[in-house]
């Protein structure tokens, strides 16, 4: 059985949206898309229904049939008191305890010396361009959704600040690699 300590980011996202009121699975997907949730959590359309089923079995949400005049009956999902409690526990934990972030770039950087220097420089330049596009995407998503509630503002701020810090680090790595290249040429 799922406990509040075991909730994934995707499950927290779904429960958070349901805390705003009843929704269909498709409506949840639209909200996820509109609010840019996929920028900070790994949640695909197909996983939404899997999560809804899992959360319903855990009694974190409940559903009811919603007759439709245009098509088949759909399910409307709502947060239960147990789900509200689990959501709040997860939020408290998420903003109280820093998470150790593991990224592929850290492992690659640890062994960058195995690559020829010019190739390493090209790879980090590509990484930098990709990171800049990501930062620009975050800024565009934020602008498209303004005015934003406080929680959304700080999520976008966090993503932008992390991206800028990543750019600063990549620039330092590139400077060091280029300096090593110059020192070897002397």
- Could you read off the pLDDT of 3-37 as tens digits, one per residue? 556 899 899 999 999 999 999 999 999 988 887 78
CATH number at residue 63: 1.10.10.10
Q: How far apart are CA 67 and CA 43, in angstroms?
A: 27
Together in a domain, 68 and 129: no
- Phi, psi (deg, nearest 5) at residue 77: -110, 145
Among residues 149, 17, 1, 182, which one has the least CA distance to residue 9? 17
Among candidate residues 116, 109, 113, 118, the one with its CA nearest the CA of residue 170: 109
The whole domain housing 114 covers 104-185
Average pLDDT over residues 94-107: 88
Residues 91 and 56 reside in one and the same domain: yes
1 band by pLDDT with thresholds 50, 70 and 90: low
| pLDDT, mean of residues 120-124 | 97
Residue 41 and residue 87 share a domain: yes
Q: Interior CA angle at 101 toward 97 and 103, to 5°?
A: 175
Report the distance separating Cα 123 and Cα 25, nearest Å. 40
Average pLDDT on 41-64 reads 92
Cα Rg for the chain, rounded, in angstroms? 22
The neighbouring-strand residues paired with 21 are: none
Q: Considering the chain, what is the average pLDDT of its residues?
A: 90
- Write down the pLDDT at residue 4: 52
Work out the pLDDT band at 144, boundaries 50, 70, 90. confident
pTM beyond 0.85: no
**Which tokens hold the place of 96?**
């109280």
Cα–Cα distance for residue pair 153/36, rounded to 1 Å: 12
The domain total for the chain is 2
What is the average pLDDT across 101-120? 93
Q: Are residues 50 and 80 in the same domain?
A: yes
pLDDT recorded at residue 22? 95
Whether residues 160 and 79 fall in one domain: no
**For residue 138, which of 161, 160, 114 has the smallest C-alpha distance?**
160
């Amino acid at each position: 059985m799922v406990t509040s300590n075991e909730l994934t980011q995707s499950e927290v996202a779904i429960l958070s949206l349901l805390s705003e009121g009843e929704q269909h699975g498709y409506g949840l997907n639209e909200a996820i898309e509109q609010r840019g949730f996929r920028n900070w959590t790994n949640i695909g359309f197909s996983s939404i229904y899997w999560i809804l089923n899992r959360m319903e079995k855990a009694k974190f949400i409940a559903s009811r049939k919603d007759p439709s005049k245009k098509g088949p009956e759909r399910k409307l999902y709502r947060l239960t008191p147990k789900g509200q409690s689990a959501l709040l526990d997860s939020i408290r934990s998420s903003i109280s305890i820093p998470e150790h972030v593991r990224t592929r770039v850290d492992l690659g950087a640890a062994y960058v010396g195995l690559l020829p220097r010019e190739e390493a420089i090209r790879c980090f330049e590509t990484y930098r361009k990709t990171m800049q596009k990501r930062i620009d995407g975050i800024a565009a998503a934020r602008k498209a959704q303004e005015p934003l509630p406080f929680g959304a503002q700080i999520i976008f701020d966090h993503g932008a600040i992390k991206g800028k810090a990543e750019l600063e680090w990549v620039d330092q790595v590139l400077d060091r690699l280029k300096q090593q290249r110059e020192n070897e040429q002397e």
